[in-house]
Structure 1
């Protein structure tokens, strides 16, 4: 296990290197000059040139890239060209908010998806199964912004309630944090539930046809014992796989939801940086999300060995 973990961590180096090159290249191909945007339309050529020089934008791209990577290796993500703040503390702060939103959304999604997915599988082709499958298709098909807008309209028009604007940590005030995150988490959780529910149903349908399930039934075990004691763990690997991928996607793809509900998370931070052509913030934010994504996938691989002891690394 230790050797496998070491190899996986070493393999992160070329992955992150490739992502850094890709992000850096794409950003510098985007039209627009950060210096011109910061100084406005009335800026002179001399002032723009001076600002570009102070930010190092007049250097060749390879020099800018090496300077940026050199700082990353020392734990320095650079400074925002728009606000002048250090980027890493802001990323960590904003990521904490996004992480709370993601965890809340995943909990909501799993609490809905796994029970209904199991019920749908053990009652295959029934009216309940059809209803679950239709709900799954709707959850997958309807985009996040439409779900979030609908939730906002329903809660404001029919219940006269609006979520608070000021974000509060769950550690500081759980009740206020719940009020802040419940609607955006539900918006993201619906998408999570749809994917996990679909995978849960598929995995259970496949597992329930296995010989060991028929043997467990022949021994006189109750239906609950067969489903939860035998089928659940053997169906968990594909469920955990899709759930792990969704956690990674939610951490990096919460931009729309954070913008819709005015949550100052990492997604909104990077989006604002894109508008402002704040290259260091975008580069650092995307690279940080990529690192978290690959670490989540590594964690999922390690969970496999706990679910199924036959899996060895």
Structure 2
């Protein structure tokens, strides 16, 4: 297991290097002069010179690359043009918000997806199964921004149960945090719950057709024991793999959802940076999100190997 974990960490290094090169090259993909684009048409010559100095564009290319990687290895991602603070500081401030909403969304996804998928499999070819299938198809088809607007109209405008936006920290008011993050979490979770329902249903149907399940039922074991003890354990392994993908989608989808609901997380930070042409923040945000997704995938792979001891990848145990 330790060997496999180290191997997966080493495999992530080339990806991080490639992404860092892409992040470095973002500013050179701008048509024309980057300083002019960032400063706008009203920028004076002194303003443009200051922008070039802040971004290091007044240095030779090789010096820019050396400076970029030197600062990167020291944890310095530059200074945000929009906020006037270090990019690392801004990311550290906002990341707990995004992580909290993502975990909340994941909990909703797991509860809805697992329960709906299991119930659908246990009622195969009945109306409950058909309803769950329709829910899954809708879930994987709708865009999350459209669902977010529908939820706002339903739960905020029509029913008045939840606020239309804003954010209250959990440490300040747990109930307020729950109220302000429920709609963003639902907007992200409902779509992914559809995918998890399909995976859980198909996997559960396959497991329930196995010989050991028929043997367990022939012994007179209750359906709760058969499903909960014997079937569910084997269903969880492919579900764990899907949950890694789902959490990645939840994190990446937060850019749109946080902007809609005014949640000041990483997603909203990157959205504002893109609209404000804050390239140091875009570069730092890209590196942070990539590193987080790579770490998440490694954790899921290691967890999957731990759950199924039969798997031996790269000599890991």
Which band: TM-score by shorter chain?
over 0.9
Cα distance in structure 2, aligned partners of 1:123 and 1:59: 67
Cα distance in structure 2, aligned partners of 1:222 and 1:309: 28
Cα distance in structure 1, aligned partners of 2:47 and 2:178: 48
Shift of 1:247: 0.7
The unaligned stretches of length 5 or more in structure 2 are: none
Cα distance in structure 2, aligned partners of 1:259 and 1:110: 24
Distance 1:164 1:277, change over 3 A: same
Deviates more, 1:74-83 or 1:146-155: 74-83
Shift of 1:88: 0.7
C-alpha contact 2:167 2:262 (8 A) present in aligned 1: no
Cα distance in structure 1, aligned partners of 2:35 and 2:161: 43
Deviates more, 1:44-53 or 1:147-156: 44-53
C-alpha contact 1:34 1:278 (8 A) present in aligned 2: no
Shift of 1:310: 2.6
Alignment of 1:8 with 2:25, yes or no, is no
Cα distance in structure 1, aligned partners of 2:219 and 2:23: 58
Shift of 1:50: 4.3
Distance 1:179 1:44, change over 3 A: same
Shift of 1:161: 4.5
C-alpha contact 2:152 2:164 (8 A) present in aligned 1: no
Shift of 1:308: 2.3
Distance 1:239 1:163, change over 3 A: same
Cα distance in structure 1, aligned partners of 2:37 and 2:25: 20
What is the aligned partner in structure 2 of residue 91 from structure 1?
A: 91
What is the aligned partner in structure 1 of residue 154 from structure 2?
A: 154
Shift of 1:274: 1.4
What is the aligned partner in structure 1 of residue 180 from structure 2?
A: 180
Instruction: Give the structure-1-normalised TM-score.
Output: 0.93
What is the aligned partner in structure 1 of residue 115 from structure 2?
A: 115
Shift of 1:307: 2.4
Shift of 1:262: 0.8
Alignment of 1:1-313 (within 5 A): 1-31=1-31, 35-45=35-45, 47-163=47-163, 165-312=165-312, 313=316
Shift of 1:28: 2.5
The unaligned stretches of length 5 or more in structure 1 are: none
* Superposed CA RMSD: 1.9
Distance 1:164 1:133, change over 3 A: closer
Cα distance in structure 2, aligned partners of 1:160 and 1:168: 18
